[in-house]
A and B are shown apart, each in its own frame.
Chain A
Amino acid sequence: MSEAAAHHDDHGHHYNGGISRWLTTTNHKDIGTMYLVFSLVMFFIGGAMAMIIRLELFKPGLQFVDPQLFNSMTTLHALVMIFGAVMPAWTGFANWMIPMMIGAPDMALPRLNNWSFWILPFAFTLLLSTLFMPGGGPAGGWTMLPPLVLQTGMAFPFLIFAVHFLGASSIAGAINVVATVFNLRAPGMTLMKLPLFVWTWIITAFLLIASMPVLAGAVTMLLTDKYFGTSFFSAAGGGDPVLFQHIFWFFGHPEVYILILPAFGIVSAIIPTFARKPLFGYSSMVYAAGAIAFLSFIVWAHHMFTVGMPLAGELFFMYATVLIAVPTGVKVFNWVATMWQSSMTFETPMLFAIAFVVLFTIGGFSGLMLGVTPVDFQYHDTYFVVAHFHYVLVTGAVFALMAGTYFWLPKWTGHMYDETLGKWHFWISTISVNVLFFPQHFLGLAGMPRRIPDYAVQFADWNMVSSIGGFVFGLSQFMFVIVIVKCVRGGAKATDRVWEGARGLEWTLSSPPPYHSFATPPEPATIDGGYR
């Protein structure tokens, strides 16, 4: 960020030169940049693992990798993408955007902020080093279900400690967001004027603070079961392996909304901008996000319909799950209503946002199907589930990340990105991602199980189609990198407002913004609650 250097002495603050600037920084923009770059790197590492998976599944039979490595690829692909790519990307966006959106000088706890980031590369060093150990990486699935996961070899404590470490990072980051939003808002920035990205992030932060410690507890019990003779998850000692699933999914379901709520926020910023119309139903958007967050804590056992729960449990978790469709439906309705009779243009961020609305909704509908207990008995652990959560996470969360990146890249760098290349990236990604994941619905409905390196020949055709889609999608992401690198290095000068319809405090700053943005709070008159 050579631009930032120009603002070196803005307010008498200075930063160290070279690498030590990045190691010791307390600046929210520096830390945000590190989060985003780290996330992009992890996106490609996790993507490479996905390519290995799709390569092996290109044809029936065992071609390229042995089943142990295949299983560790599915396990690590999930952990890397969730904890390494998507969550850090959201924290990166939060770091960059929240202080600028609420008129704050920085994050509330800047040193804690630095710590939250620097944990990540070290935690992933612990986790990914297991691939080079005797016995290989963890291969029991990212859900770490006992007793299977207890058979992990040398990698086991590394897996557990990496999860602890990542949890600490998330909790620290979430606490920082809460303190920032509740304490550092500029005068006049009332709660119901907050941009929806800020709203969805506060709710996400509460989800993180409430759910990550539970995961830490769960994996601690795994650790003691393996090394210290406890019997939490062993029926012989009076415990229950299903107990782990309950505790894990008590974390795991809020986690799903941790991954998607900030996406809702970004899409709610982009659609009004390119529709040149205020967001339809701002307050209902806020309440819907809150309702989704609340419900996310009482639906966890829909991941476990087939473990043998009492009937009352099956019914409760089914109804609670299906209830989530109501606030989610409110959101989708509001996005569509915002676009209704508007003067839309289709720049790359808007294209990704519209694709998000359509494709995330497909993922939502397949989730609704999976939420119905008797139906889930049929679909459980099949490729239908894989198709479902990749629609919500890739065409949902990841598409929103890309939309947000294109949307704010001119603000961050001061340059316009290459619109033609961006559009190519969008169209190739959108077509290939559907070629990749849509056939997996068919495979799942036909009965193909998840997490297997080999399959019956009847599944061969759609697997080949899916793999081809996967390779194209994987390769097309290099276009994303090219767009970003080109944009950072130069390009047409971006205006402060960047987009004709952009509203909100971040657009009142220069592009790129000064190193310290709102050292003094903005005038209350400039806060128009633009997202309403």
Chain B
Amino acid sequence: MATAHTAHRHYYVPESSQWPIIATIAIFTMFLGGALTLNQISQGHEVLGAGFLLFVYMLFGWFGTVIAESENGKFGDWEDTSFRMGMMWFIFSEVMFFAAFFGALFYTRVLSVPWLAGAGTKVATHMYLWPNFLADWPLLKIPNNYGFKEAKEVVSAWGVPALNTAILLTSGATVTWAHWALKLNKRGQLIIGLMCTVALGILFVSLQAKEYGHAYNELGLTLNAGIYGATFFMLTGFHGFHVTLGTIMLFVILMRSIRGHFKPEHHFAFEAVAWYWHFVDVVWIGLFIFVYWI
């Protein structure tokens, strides 16, 4: 790859930048505020909020700088390849982050819940600790509900979750439709495709929020409802958070498209966000199958 480009041009190495250190200070402040809040120290929220504001300021600054560089033609194919690799491996690291929670789900479903009910060599645990415990999934009756509040019911797969699956899959199609348009330089179709994708993203998150309300208020399914509630909300919660981020990223891409950014042959930011969107889509398929459905 390098061979083709080095003969006639330099790799773009940016000048010194204040944004990374501001990012660090912002995240540090948020962590500090979070830790103080969790320790019930009263100023925690203010520190957290200040860190968040600084973080948002940093996002505008850092991305603004990079967008300006991109629009001024600083990045060629050679730099693009670095960005692509960076985004690709960042998404892979996100996959591994979700893998930890999927691992927890599979381990409890397949191994440890049956063990608690006396499967395998764990008869003694069952006999002496919780002889009445029965392995079941979704697990509504937990071994000992001291400190926990059992759920009455779990969210059915064939209501809102199935609808949300359709919404997210459709949004994957609309973002691809927008991408085709960008490559053919059909700006109108690009903007319409992105608008649809953003709208579907917002719809997904709203329905998910409504479903959370239903789970908490009517079904009694909470973070505190034992291992089913814990894995359910951890997986769908982090997924929902990623959809929210993805929607914000798509919105930024939409705004840039309206301003006339991106060229048919040069639009890394669009592709990075599209990859990210497909990634949250794929995670959702895993969630729909293993959390809601089977």
Contact = CB atoms under 8 A, between A and B. Distances in A.
Contacts of B224: 228-230
Interface in A222-250: 224, 227-232, 234-240, 242-243, 246-247, 250
B158 interface: no
A24 B21 contact: yes
A157 B6 contact: no
A260 B93 CA distance: 21
Given A115-B23, A229-B223, A242-B112, A520 B100 contact: no
Determine the interface band of chain A, counting residues with CB < 8 A from chain B: 35 or more
Interface string B104-135: 10011001110110001110000001000000
A231 B148 contact: yes
B96 A213 contact: yes
Nearest to B27: A165
A232 B104 contact: yes
Nearest to B98: A217
Contacts of A115: 20-21, 23-24
A108 B112 CA distance: 44
B14 A111 contact: yes
A217 B100 contact: yes
Contacts of A220: 234
B142 A238 contact: yes
B99 A229 contact: no
A362 interface: no
B284 interface: no
A393 to B, nearest CB: 24
Contact of B35 (A126, A184, A234): A126
Contacts of A179: 81-82, 85-86, 89
B24 to A, nearest CB: 4
B17 A114 contact: yes
Nearest to B101: A217
A122 B29 CA distance: 10
B19 to A, nearest CB: 7
Residue in A11, A14, A122 whose Cβ sees the most chain B Cβ within 10 Å: A122
A449 interface: no
Contacts of A119: 24, 27
Given A183-B1, A242-B112, A24 B13 contact: no
A176 B82 CA distance: 9
A237 B34 contact: no
A236 B143 contact: yes
B112 A187 contact: no
B97 A217 contact: yes
B166 interface: no
For chain B, what secondary structure do more than half of its interface residues adopt (helix, strand, loop), or is it mixed?
helix
Contact of B226 (A110, A158, A231, A250): A231
Contacts of B76: none
B34 A157 contact: yes
B153 interface: no
Contacts of A237: 142-144, 147-148, 226-227, 230
Contacts of B234: 220-221, 224, 230, 232
A27 to B, nearest CB: 8
A175 B90 contact: yes
A26 B13 contact: yes
Contacts of A485: none
Interface residues of B, number: 78
Interface string A183-195: 1111100000000
B286 interface: no
Contact of B6 (A13, A14, A247, A521): A521
B94 A157 contact: no
B39 A105 contact: no
B235 to A, nearest CB: 11
B148 A240 contact: no
Contacts, number: 243
B86 A21 contact: no
A182 interface: yes
Contacts of A161: 31, 34-35
A329 B83 CA distance: 38
A24 B16 contact: yes
A118 B24 contact: yes
A26 B31 CA distance: 25
Nearest to A11: B10
A310 B21 contact: no
Given A26-B16, A105-B13, A236 B103 contact: no
A109 interface: yes
B225 to A, nearest CB: 8
A185 B2 contact: yes
B20 A106 contact: no
B222 interface: yes
Contacts of A218: 100
A528 B35 CA distance: 53
A179 B23 CA distance: 22
B32 interface: yes
Contacts of A178: 85, 89
B78 interface: yes
Contact of B38 (A13, A216, A227, A519): A227
B17 A184 contact: no
Nearest to A21: B16
A71 interface: no
B104 A247 contact: yes
Residue in A15, A27, A229, A243 whose Cβ sees the most chain B Cβ within 10 Å: A229
B103 A246 contact: yes
Contact of A108 (B38, B86, B99): B86
Nearest to B9: A520
A23 B21 CA distance: 6
A238 B228 contact: yes
Contacts of B222: 229
A345 interface: no
Nearest to A229: B224
Contacts of B265: none
A123 B6 CA distance: 38
Interface in A469-510: none
B2 A183 contact: yes
A220 B121 CA distance: 30
A211 interface: yes
B97 to A, nearest CB: 4
A341 B72 CA distance: 59
B25 A239 contact: no
Interface in B124-162: 129, 139, 142-148
Interface of A: 11, 13-16, 20-21, 23-27, 104-106, 108-112, 114-115, 118-119, 122-123, 125-126, 154, 156-158, 161-162, 164-165, 168, 171, 174-176, 178-180, 182-187, 209-214, 216-218, 220-221, 224, 227-232, 234-240, 242-243, 246-247, 250, 308, 310, 516, 519-521
Given A24-B20, A211-B96, 15 more contacts: A13-B15, A21-B16, A24-B16, A105-B13, A111-B19, A114-B17, A126-B35, A161-B31, A164-B31, A186-B2, A187-B6, A213-B99, A229-B147, A235-B143, A521-B2
Closest 8 pairs between A and B when the two form their complex, measured CB to CB: A217-B100, A229-B224, A238-B227, A115-B20, A230-B230, A240-B112, A213-B97, A157-B35
Interface of B: 1-3, 6-7, 10-11, 13-21, 23-25, 27-28, 31-32, 34-35, 38-39, 62, 78, 81-83, 85-86, 89-90, 92-101, 103-104, 107-108, 111-113, 115-116, 120-122, 129, 139, 142-148, 222-224, 226-231, 233-234
